[in-house]
């Protein structure tokens, strides 16, 4: 696995929706990452309904950061369904030959990370105790 550097990029890959408001959370996450790491090569991409899809997002990221040798694709999905287990690997397999200089890696789906589950459990506890409100 590459160490964090200017040669490593990240694509936040989300499902997408016909509703334009739906993009807000992915784009807010992108803004938070960019604020914390202004020089980072990071972008959003979407599987359906929203622009850009994964292929153009990779191309745009490489155009703005030509030094990249690694891009991690992080599925912002709660669990492993067809998108995470089949669709995303197929997209990456299709893209890989176009970028022989680039190592494309798929991170585990967001909801597969124990830290995310723990955060959600803590939040659920807060709702149950009346400390959090919707």
pLDDT over 70 (residue 113): yes
| pLDDT, position 134 | 64
Q: Map tokens 């745009």 to a residue.
A: 60
CA–CA distance, 63 with 75 (Å, rounded to integer): 22
Tokens of 131: 């400390």
Question: Model-level pTM?
Answer: 0.90
Which has more confidence, 1 or 113? 113
Over range 96-114, report the average pLDDT. 96
Are the C-beta atoms of 70 and 35 separated by less than 8 Å? no
pLDDT over 50 (residue 103): yes
Question: What's the CA dihedral at 116, 117, 119, 121 to 10 degrees?
Answer: 170
CA–CA distance, 6 with 14 (Å, rounded to integer): 23
CA–CA distance, 9 with 5 (Å, rounded to integer): 8
CA–CA distance, 75 with 83 (Å, rounded to integer): 9
Are the C-beta atoms of 59 and 52 separated by less than 8 Å? no
The 10s digit of each residue's pLDDT in 62-81 is 999 999 999 999 999 998 88
Whether the upstream peptide bond of residue 31 has omega within 30° of 0, thus cis, is no
Over range 116-133, report the average pLDDT. 91
Strands 70-75 and 103-106: parallel
């Amino acid at each position: 696995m590459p160490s964090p550097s200017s040669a490593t990029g990240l694509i936040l890959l989300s499902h997408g929706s016909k509703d334009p408001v739906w993009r807000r959370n992915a784009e807010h996450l992108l803004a938070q990452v960019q604020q914390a790491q202004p020089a980072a090569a990071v972008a959003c991409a979407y599987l359906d309904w929203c622009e850009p899809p994964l292929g153009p997002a990779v191309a745009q990221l490489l155009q703005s950061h030509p030094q990249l040798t690694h891009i991690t694709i992080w599925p912002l999905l709660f669990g492993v369904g067809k998108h995470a287990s089949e669709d995303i690997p197929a997209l990456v397999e299709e893209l890989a030959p176009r970028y022989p200089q680039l190592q494309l890696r798929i991170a585990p789906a967001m909801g597969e990370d124990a830290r995310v589950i723990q955060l959600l459990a803590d939040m659920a506890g807060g709702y149950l105790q009346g400390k959090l409100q919707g």
